[in-house]
């Protein structure tokens, strides 16, 4: 602001300042309002999603328990509760093969003694976005999508292998 004959007058810079402040305030209000509207309008669905955790040593299998709360280890937000736990042994593909009845040749495999693949089905609450994609605690729930899984003291990067959205909560 300039002072001319003792009077304060606006110049171009002052107008730019005011405009910028107004635009910032308008943007903040707009996004705050639209965000709160979208949150309040989001329907919540119950979702069951299964994640694959591998490899897990036999000593750690007891860490996966039905009823445990599962968190996103990156954000600390709740993904849901463990509904089911299933295990398989990790396989090791060998250099030999067998010929099946239909004539196809399939590599033989063995199983590691104490390494497991753990499939955990988690029951949680999801929202559905504009692309019809389910989200739980900010994570896309899609077959093949990675998740940062934490249950008790166990944390790992896991991948979703299946999911079902069951209906409005």
Query: How do strand 146-151 and strand 154-168 relate by DSSP bridges?
Result: antiparallel
Q: Which is nearer to another protein, 68 or 140 (CB)?
A: 140
Name the one range near another protein by CB under 8 A: 56-64, 68-76, 135-143, 149-157.
135-143
Quickly count: other Cβ atoms within 10 Å of residue 42's Cβ. 13
CB of 55 to another protein, least distance (A): 15
Q: Are the C-beta atoms of 119 and 85 separated by less than 8 Å?
A: yes
Where does residue 37 fall: left (phi above 0), alpha (psi -120 to 50 degrees), or beta otherwise? alpha
Does 26 engage in binding with another protein (CB under 8 A)?
no
Show the site string, 48-87: x = touches another protein by CB under 8 A, - = not: ----x-----------------------------------
Among 104, 113, 153, 167, binds another protein (CB under 8 A): 104
Q: How far apart are CA 8 and CA 127, in angstroms?
A: 54
3-class DSSP state of 133:
coil
Among 39, 41, 105, 113, binds another protein (CB under 8 A): 105
CB of 80 to another protein, least distance (A): 19
Handedness of CA 148, 150, 156, 162 (dihedral sign): negative
Contacts of 60 (CB under 8 A, 6+ apart): 154
Does 140 engage in binding with another protein (CB under 8 A)?
yes
* Residues listed for the chain: 169
Contacts of 36 (CB under 8 A, 6+ apart): none
Does 25 engage in binding with another protein (CB under 8 A)?
no
Among 11, 38, 75, 157, binds another protein (CB under 8 A): 11
The footprint of another protein (CB under 8 A) covers: 2-4, 11, 13, 16-17, 19-20, 23, 52, 91, 93-97, 104-109, 131-133, 140, 142-145, 161-162
């Amino acid at each position: 602001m300039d002072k001319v004959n003792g009077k304060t007058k606006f110049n171009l810079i002052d107008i730019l300042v005011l405009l910028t402040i107004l635009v910032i305030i308008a943007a903040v209000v707009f996004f705050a309002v639209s965000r709160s509207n979208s949150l309040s309008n989001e329907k919540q669905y119950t979702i069951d999603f299964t994640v694959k955790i591998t490899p897990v040593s036999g000593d750690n299998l007891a860490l996966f328990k039905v009823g445990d709360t599962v968190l996103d280890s990156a954000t600390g937000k709740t993904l849901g509760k463990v509904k089911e736990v299933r295990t398989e042994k990790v396989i090791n593909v060998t250099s030999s093969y067998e010929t099946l009845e239909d004539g196809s040749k399939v590599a033989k495999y063995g199983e590691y003694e104490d390494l497991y693949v753990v499939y955990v089905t988690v029951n949680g609450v999801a929202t559905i976005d504009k692309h019809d994609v389910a989200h739980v605690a900010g994570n896309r729930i899609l077959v093949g999508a990675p998740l940062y899984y934490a249950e008790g003291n166990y944390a790992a990067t896991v991948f979703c292998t299946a999911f079902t959205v069951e209906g409005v909560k």
